[in-house]
């Protein structure tokens, strides 16, 4: 049963329910939200609506958020409130796992929410046809996925899977509708060029970027290649897609290694390379010099750092993983053969502590800088950070909807529950902020 929740000033723990539901609530003497509960006196009101009025005393004991809608579950003399928390995504499967390989992560996400008093409702653009009355969607409860009907959640977490899906007209229209009716956080996938410009234009963060040229001409690329090998990447790419490492040989020829290739392509000169890859120009690409990364057993490594906002809207570093690649790949991403480790597997205790502090300071500085441009729409970030052979620290990329692949490492999987709690805590912050 869904109810509209309102609060009133009262020094006693009480809930006042519609007279029409008197029979269902007549034995209730306790109310719970997440892991907290309190004894309550249950009264009725005669208004012809579905409001439940909760006293400020009960609200404080249960630490209820200022959401205006909740589901009430009654078992004997106990009532339990759960607040719907929307997760807008795509890729629902008719057979097998409901959300494909992401299902295991979203089951963990749902379980975390239930412990905090939230019910995650997963839905896509195809589930909005019944608005404004309600939406359909899926919940994970008692280890089973169920399809339900729900009012539109007041807070919605955007977890659309990829850029192509997010740019689909139906998905774009759905996001516009959701933003008009609810609070949506995580606005969309980043344009690398835009984010890097934000970082470059800040005195606080500009030192973290290697030389970066957008839309490089043949001459610009030629000048850079005379000094060092370079990386060329698309502004709209992710997961290493479209990434190339380009090296110039003494005779002027080029070796180009793509992220998904086992061997480099050879070109006689820069002109033949440009003709093959950029016949209409290099608009939408950027180039940076190669950074010679720290190595372990001859293999290059960099770091994936996750930052999230908490219930006060403050950025926190929530997860740090090490990505170990190989010399024959231009990226350390796990999709292209990289492996995930934790700091403690590679470095000494003292060195781990030093690196963790540097990564934390860098990630928080960048998160705060980028956040200024998005008006509280960001709730999480995934930052790819590297340390070079000379101990210089570099920012490679910032992701607006980081994947959950780090949880495939057993040590990091133990942090999953705490990590997922931040989305709910930030959702509560947004709702409380709206109420103010």
Q: How much is the pLDDT for 308?
A: 98
> Strand, helix or coil at 11?
coil
Q: Which residues contact 98 (CB under 8 A, 6 or more apart)?
A: 92, 122, 138, 145
DSSP state of 398: E
User: What DSSP letter does each residue of 151-195 carry, written as one string?
Assistant: PPPSEEEE----HHHHTSHHHHHHHHHHHHHSEEES--PPPHHHH
Environment class of residue 418 by beta-carbon count within 10 Å: exposed (0-12), middle (13-18) or buried (19+)?
A: exposed
Which phi and psi angles does 398 have, rounded to 5°? Answer: -125, 130
Residue among 238, 211, 207 nearest 225 (CA): 211
DSSP state of 269: S
Buried b (16+ CB within 10 A) or exposed e, 77-92: eebbbbbbbbbbbbbe
CA angle 294, 245, 393 (to 5 degrees): 30
> Looking up tokens 């689909």, which residue turns up?
168
> Looking up tokens 């007041």, which residue turns up?
154
pTM of the model: 0.91
Rounded Cα gap, residues 53 and 316, in angstroms: 35
What does the longest C-alpha to C-alpha distance in the chain come to?
Answer: 89
Rounded Cα gap, residues 123 and 265, in angstroms: 43
Q: Hey, what are 135's tokens?
A: 């939406």
Q: Hey, what are 6's tokens?
A: 């309102």
Which phi and psi angles does 434 have, rounded to 5°? Answer: -65, -40
Q: Hey, what are 20's tokens?
A: 């029409």
Rounded Cα gap, residues 68 and 302, in angstroms: 44
Is residue 211 a contact partner of residue 392, using CB atoms and an 8 Å limit? no
Which phi and psi angles does 280 have, rounded to 5°? Answer: -110, 20
Ordered per-residue pLDDT tens for the chain, 436 residues? 889 999 999 999 999 999 999 999 999 999 999 999 999 999 999 988 889 999 999 999 999 988 788 999 999 999 999 999 999 999 999 999 999 999 999 999 999 999 999 999 999 999 998 887 789 999 998 899 999 999 999 999 999 989 899 999 999 999 999 999 999 999 889 988 899 999 999 999 999 999 999 999 999 999 999 999 999 988 876 666 788 999 999 999 999 998 777 788 999 999 999 999 999 888 889 999 999 999 999 999 999 999 999 999 999 999 999 999 877 666 666 665 679 999 999 999 999 999 999 999 999 999 999 999 998 789 999 999 999 999 999 999 999 999 999 999 999 999 999 999 999 999 999 988 876 5
Question: Residue 404, Cα to own-chain centre: how many angstroms?
Answer: 8
- Mode of pairing for the β-strands spanning 78-88 and 254-258: unpaired
Q: Which residues contact 22 (CB under 8 A, 6 or more apart)?
A: 44
Rounded Cα gap, residues 361 and 67, in angstroms: 33
- Three-state secondary structure readout of 278-335: CCCCCCCEEEEECCCECEECCEEEEEEEEEEECCCCCEEEEEEEEEECCCCCCCCCHH
Environment class of residue 68 by beta-carbon count within 10 Å: exposed (0-12), middle (13-18) or buried (19+)?
A: middle
- Mode of pairing for the β-strands spanning 30-33 and 78-88: parallel
CA angle 339, 345, 350 (to 5 degrees): 135
Q: How much is the pLDDT for 129?
A: 85
CA angle 141, 146, 149 (to 5 degrees): 110
- Mode of pairing for the β-strands spanning 69-75 and 285-289: unpaired
Rounded Cα gap, residues 235 and 293, in angstroms: 22
Rounded Cα gap, residues 403 and 392, in angstroms: 26
Is residue 66 a contact partner of residue 60, using CB atoms and an 8 Å limit? no
For helices 218-225 and 270-277, angle between their N-to-C axes, nearest 10 degrees: 130
């Amino acid at each position: 049963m869904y109810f509209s929740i309102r609060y009133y000033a009262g020094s006693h723990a009480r809930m006042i329910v519609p007279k029409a539901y008197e029979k269902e609530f007549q034995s209730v003497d306790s109310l719970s939200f997440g892991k907290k509960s309190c004894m309550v006196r249950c009264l009725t009101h005669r208004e012809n609506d579905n409001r439940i009025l909760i006293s400020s005393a009960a609200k404080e004991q249960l630490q209820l958020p200022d959401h205006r809608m909740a589901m009430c579950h009654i078992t004997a003399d106990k009532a339990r409130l759960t607040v719907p928390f929307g997760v807008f995504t795509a890729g629902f499967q008719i057979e097998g796992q409901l959300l494909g390989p992401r299902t295991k992560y979203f089951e963990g996400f749902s379980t975390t929410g239930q412990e905090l008093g939230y019910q995650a409702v997963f839905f896509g653009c195809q589930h909005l046809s019944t608005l404004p009355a309600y939406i359909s969607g899926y919940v994970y409860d008692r280890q089973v996925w169920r399809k339900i009907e729900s009012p539109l959640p007041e807070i919605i977490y955007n977890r659309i899977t990829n850029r192509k899906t997010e740019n689909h007209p139906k998905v774009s229209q759905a996001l516009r509708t959701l933003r008009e009716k609810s609070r949506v956080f995580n606005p969309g996938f980043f344009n690398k060029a835009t984010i890097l410009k934000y970082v470059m234009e800040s005195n606080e963060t500009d030192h973290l970027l290697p030389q970066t040229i957008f839309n490089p001409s043949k001459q610009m690329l030629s000048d850079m290649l005379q000094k060092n090998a370079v990386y060329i990447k698309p502004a709209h790419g992710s997961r290493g897609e479209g990434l190339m490492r380009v090296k110039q040989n003494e005779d002027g020829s080029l070796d180009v290694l793509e992220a998904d290739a086992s061997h480099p392509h050879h070109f006689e000169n820069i002109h033949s390379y440009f003709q093959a890859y950029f016949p209409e120009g290099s608009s939408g690409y950027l180039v940076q010099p190669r950074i010679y990364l720290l190595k372990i057993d001859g293999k290059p490594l960099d770091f994936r750092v996750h930052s999230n906002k908490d219930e006060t809207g403050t950025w926190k570093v929530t997860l740090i993983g090490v990505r170990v690649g190989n010399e024959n790949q231009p990226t350390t991403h796990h999709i292209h053969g990289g492996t995930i480790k934790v700091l403690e597997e590679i470095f000494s205790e003292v060195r781990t502590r030093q690196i963790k502090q540097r990564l934390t300071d860098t990630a928080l500085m960048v998160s705060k800088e980028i956040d200024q441009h998005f008006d509280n729409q960001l709730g999480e970030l995934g930052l790819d950070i590297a340390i070079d052979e000379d101990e210089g620290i570099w920012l490679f990329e910032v992701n607006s909807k980081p994947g959950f692949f780090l949880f495939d490492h057993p040590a990091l999987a133990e942090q999953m529950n705490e990590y997922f709690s931040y989305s709910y805590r930030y959702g509560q912050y947004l709702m409380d902020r709206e109420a103010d």
